[in-house]
């Protein structure tokens, strides 16, 4: 598998605009908190590293990944963010619950993004086991929170570029 030897959070090959002029909402699931807190830390630190103003980063918790869609919609309805970063972790279990949650979250976040014409970033780990989640939340494969923050910055900048 290609990801076994790769840090997925390497952005050395791409230009990243300043985040200084943008307002970000982060909606983070409380379920699998060890992982989601690491994702949150990665996203927050990355936004700051690229110039986001601390006061322009609002963080909200929801119980689980399924509720990320509602959290993103409530935040966008309020209207004071340029992009929403949704962070969660769903780990495969013994039932089909995993499939239903992952599909619902992916489709829900896409629909919210379309409804509000704002970037809604899918920073949800969908892993087979706890080790994979750990590896992708600050472990050997980087931090999906970093990736979500970079995506939010780039997409917020794209919105501005397209609206000029």
Which amino acids are annotated catalytic? Answer: 97
Which run of H or of E encompasses 91?
A: strand 83-91
Q: Which two tokens stand for residue 118?
A: 């704002």
CA distance to 4, 125, 140, 160, 164, per residue, from 144 (Å): 15, 8, 11, 24, 30
CA angle 23, 148, 153 (to 5 degrees): 40
Phi then psi for residue 42, to 5 deg, are -60, -45
Give bridge partners of residue 88 from the DSSP assignment.
124
Q: Are 17 and 157 in contact (CB under 8 A)?
A: yes
Strand order in 57-62's β-sheet?
Answer: 57-62, 24-29, 83-91, 120-127
Which tokens sit at 71? 């959290």
């Amino acid at each position: 598998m290609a990801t076994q030897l790769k840090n997925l959070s390497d952005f050395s090959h791409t230009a990243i605009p300043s985040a200084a002029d943008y307002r970000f909402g982060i909606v983070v699931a409380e379920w699998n908190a060890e992982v989601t807190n690491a994702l949150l830390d990665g996203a927050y630190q990355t936004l700051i590293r690229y110039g986001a103003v601390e006061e322009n980063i609002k963080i909200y918790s929801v119980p689980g990944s399924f509720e990320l869609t509602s959290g993103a919609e409530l935040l966008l309805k309020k209207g004071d963010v340029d992009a929403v970063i949704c962070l969660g972790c769903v780990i495969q279990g013994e039932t089909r619950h995993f499939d239903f949650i992952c599909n619902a979250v992916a489709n829900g976040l896409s629909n919210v993004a379309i409804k509000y014409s704002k970037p809604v970033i899918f920073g949800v780990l969908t892993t087979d086991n706890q080790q994979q989640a750990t590896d992708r939340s600050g472990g050997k494969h980087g931090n999906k929170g970093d990736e979500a923050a970079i995506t939010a910055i780039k997409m917020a900048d794209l919105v501005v570029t397209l609206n000029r």
